[in-house]
Structure 1
Amino acid sequence: MSTREKWRRAAGLLLVVLILAIAATPEFRTFVTLPDHLRLPQGQAHELSLGIPFSTAVQTAGGSGLGVGGTSPVSLAAEETGRYTLDVKLFGLIPIRRMTVDVVPQIRVVPGGHSIGVRLRSKGVLVVGFAAVKDSDGQVHHPGREAGIQIGDAIVAIDGKPVRGEEHAAHLFQEAGRKGRPVTVTVRRGGESLERTVTPVQDGESGRWRVGLYIRDGASGVGTLTFYHPASRKFGALGHVIADGETKRPFEFAEGHITAVDVVKIQKGKRAAPGEKITNQFESGGRLGTIEKNTRFGIFGRLSAPVRNPLYPEPLPVAMASQVKEGPAEMLTVVEGQKIERFQIEIVRLMRQPTAEGKNMIVQVTDPRLLEATGGIVQGMSGSPIIQDGRVVGAVTHVFVNDPTRGYGVLIEWMLQEAGILKAETDDAGLREEGLSRRLPVLPAVTGG
């Protein structure tokens, strides 16, 4: 090997080592995780760390309503609503990053913390399992499964009659069986409407006519209210989607509501055994509002009347994703009766972009009182609002099964966007946007027919 070739290999190796060394620095990680788009509330200053140790220049386009100062961290002064573009240039010459900044009107919400009962009624009835039907001769049949009905299908009509619930479906199957005829079952599967012909079979033991399907028409459970937006009367809760326990799919519902509940007992969380809030029968509590959406960032709807939080008599401003930081914060939740209390937590990690299940942050309970009372995060706390520096920043959503002192949280920005509150307010500014609920135990399933 020639000397020149040796020098080339040495230089190449040195370059690789240099690149790896730079990639391992906190500054580089800060730079590569800079968002392409961020929102800032009007009238608030914000520091944006670029993570670049070299001379940089930041230029803005879109008007004079966004003041820019410094190099890194860059000071952004959000003076006027609107959309702006930030160009980051190395040494003031080489373009290395372009960001879009939306300055939006300040949003204020009443923080929640209230324990709530959640009740959803499905569209038709949901197929959650199969059951064998044994006739009087001992023969085993699976009428529904053999007809092509699948777990997760929603039965919306039987012989053209809309299904109103479990008992109604069972009655229609029974009547068809008595008359000795098959039925036409209309199911909804993945947005598609399908028809299947099923012949009921008479159960040899009970004498009832069955189609061998476990069905359910609703889901219910306990969670926590995250926020109430007085201007629109909209609320957000849970911070994560309600999914069916058997199918694991988002629960599609025809109607739903939330109610007030009392926490009567806490089952403490332990390693590999998540705890939970034990509440009274929530149907006996007063209805608080109607559920309109079940999404990956929680449930949303409108309240029947305003709610109050005695810890914060006045609405609090919300923080956009770029304003949330790692460090101390507080969580609001109920551990006894209906009394909302504040407890100290630590935001130990942030993922500021939307994620599949709304897991934007990792939080850890540090408050000795809460650790003593609950062991950390328990089922029924999902939706508990997180407050930092006098602003609502997000909500607790999940617990770590092997460490109940830690869990996930969702950022309030994504909840507000899902609720339509943030979009509505940015539209007013002339812009266009281009579990831990107590594992929502579902109602007991019954066999159809």
Structure 2
Amino acid sequence: MRKVVLHLGLALVLICFLILFTVPYWASAVGIPKELKVFPGMDLSLDLKPPLKLYDQQGSEISGLFDTDELGANTYRVNLFGWLPLTELVVDVVPLVEVYPGGQSIGVLLSSDGLIVNNVGSVRGMDGKEYFPARDGGIRPGDVLLSIEGRTLRRPESVSEIVNDLAEDDKSLNFLVRRGNKTINYQVKPIKTKQVDIFGKTVAVYMLGIYLEDPAAGVGTLSFYHKESRRYAALGHTINNSLGRPVEIVRGSIVEASIDSIRSGIRGSPGVKVGFFHGEQSVLGTIDSNSNFGIFGQLYGEFPQTSFT
């Protein structure tokens, strides 16, 4: 008899531990969010089915609408069977924010953190042989080149300038590379090659056998802006590189743009705006975030009356 009771007791203890350790799973399975942000006076309720119950901080059961009259965050507790804590829900009542709708065309200039390696290839040396300096040095497609010998990289053309400025016969250069979440140093030996310049002369230059992407630039649409804080949103989607990865923005800007034409979209191919920028004197603001909802940033100066009304 004692063995039976002991086994039942152990079984109950195991069941309790199982329930406790799977609390996060059950909370997500029934669709209970961690936090909700609402505006004052909004009707908000949580449709919980038995055996789930919702309690406020005073321990009173909530069966109808949440109190959203006053600003601030309130924490509610979701219990299983009325006594076993399952998870907490924070309802944050935030001030109503009014924004101005956009629709204006803007030019988007992104100066990404380093340069993305699109591909690596071969170069032909002065001896006529084929070499793979970047590949042999450890650089792969998808890597982000951050610096060469400590010199920060901003534009693809700067790579050739730095390499030819520093490279000497039989000298390797230190490349700082980001791969995923890791930052790695590689030693790459540029290869001296023969190239024909714009004047038709054969000159000796150092090459890496690497193909780089130019920082993204394009024409988009302003979504909205907040007049008091001068925050804005644009595009409505992430800006990705050619490998389909979101571009990490270090310094970016939006400028005035004019639309030259519009190409209509067809099935499988979205429509495109074809436009041009007005130049750096017409910079409207900075870009500090590239998210799934578009780009966000800070506007400065007064809005040009021709573009913002």
1:142: Cα distance to partner? 1.0
- The residue that corresponds to 2:199 in the other structure is none
C-alpha distance in 1 between matches for 2:294 and 2:32 = 26
Whether 1:305 and 2:295 are equivalent positions in the alignment is no
- Counterpart selection for 1:222 from 190, 198, 219: 219
- SS of 2:220's equivalent? strand
- Counterpart selection for 1:242 from 234, 239, 264: 239
Aligned ranges 1:327-346 → 2 under 5 Å: none
The 8 Å contact of residues 152 and 189 in structure 1, kept in 2 or not, is answered as yes
C-alpha distance in 1 between matches for 2:84 and 2:112 = 56
C-alpha distance in 1 between matches for 2:74 and 2:53 = 16
Whether 1:103 and 2:93 are equivalent positions in the alignment is yes
C-alpha distance in 2 between matches for 1:204 and 1:308 = 50
Change in Cα spacing, 1:193 to 1:100, as seen in structure 2 (3 Å) is closer
Question: What does the per-residue CA deviation read over 1:175-216, in whole Å, with 9 as the maximum and x for residues that have no partner?
Answer: 344555222222233343322111111234544220101123
- The residue that corresponds to 1:276 in the other structure is 272
Q: Structure 1 stretch 281-290 or stretch 252-261: which is displaced more?
A: 281-290
- SS of 2:70's equivalent? coil
Whether 1:122 and 2:97 are equivalent positions in the alignment is no
Change in Cα spacing, 1:119 to 1:270, as seen in structure 2 (3 Å) is same
Change in Cα spacing, 1:171 to 1:76, as seen in structure 2 (3 Å) is same
C-alpha distance in 2 between matches for 1:107 and 1:237 = 17
- Counterpart selection for 1:158 from 148, 151, 169: 148
- SS of 2:297's equivalent? strand
Whether 1:41 and 2:39 are equivalent positions in the alignment is yes
The amino acid that maps onto 1:273 is S
C-alpha distance in 2 between matches for 1:88 and 1:239 = 35
The unaligned stretches of length 5 or more in structure 2 are: 1-28, 197-203
The 8 Å contact of residues 59 and 86 in structure 1, kept in 2 or not, is answered as yes
- SS of 2:99's equivalent? strand
1:217: Cα distance to partner? 4.7
- Counterpart selection for 2:249 from 240, 253, 271: 253
Whether 1:201 and 2:203 are equivalent positions in the alignment is no
Question: What does the per-residue CA deviation read over 1:14-44, in whole Å, with 9 as the maximum and x for residues that have no partner?
Answer: xxxxxxxxxxxxxxxxx944534312212x2
Over alpha carbons, which structure has the higher Rg? 2
C-alpha distance in 2 between matches for 1:195 and 1:272 = 41
- The residue that corresponds to 1:382 in the other structure is none
- The residue that corresponds to 1:286 in the other structure is 282
- The residue that corresponds to 1:329 in the other structure is none
Change in Cα spacing, 1:47 to 1:308, as seen in structure 2 (3 Å) is farther
1:226: Cα distance to partner? 2.3
Whether 1:232 and 2:229 are equivalent positions in the alignment is yes
RMSD across aligned C-alpha pairs, in angstroms?
3.8
Change in Cα spacing, 1:197 to 1:228, as seen in structure 2 (3 Å) is same
The 8 Å contact of residues 250 and 294 in structure 1, kept in 2 or not, is answered as yes
Whether 1:213 and 2:210 are equivalent positions in the alignment is yes
The unaligned stretches of length 5 or more in structure 1 are: 1-30, 310-336, 341-449
Change in Cα spacing, 1:303 to 1:338, as seen in structure 2 (3 Å) is closer
The 8 Å contact of residues 250 and 288 in structure 2, kept in 1 or not, is answered as no
The amino acid that maps onto 2:147 is A
- SS of 2:245's equivalent? coil
The 8 Å contact of residues 249 and 287 in structure 2, kept in 1 or not, is answered as no
Change in Cα spacing, 1:117 to 1:62, as seen in structure 2 (3 Å) is farther
C-alpha distance in 1 between matches for 2:185 and 2:235 = 35
- The residue that corresponds to 2:14 in the other structure is none
Q: What TM-score comes out, normalization by structure 2 length?
A: 0.72
The 8 Å contact of residues 219 and 276 in structure 2, kept in 1 or not, is answered as no
- The residue that corresponds to 1:3 in the other structure is none
The 8 Å contact of residues 261 and 338 in structure 1, kept in 2 or not, is answered as no
Give aligned-pair identity as a percent: 33
Change in Cα spacing, 1:308 to 1:104, as seen in structure 2 (3 Å) is farther
- SS of 1:108's equivalent? coil
Change in Cα spacing, 1:124 to 1:50, as seen in structure 2 (3 Å) is closer
The 8 Å contact of residues 261 and 285 in structure 1, kept in 2 or not, is answered as no
- SS of 1:240's equivalent? coil
C-alpha distance in 1 between matches for 2:43 and 2:148 = 59
1:304: Cα distance to partner? 1.0
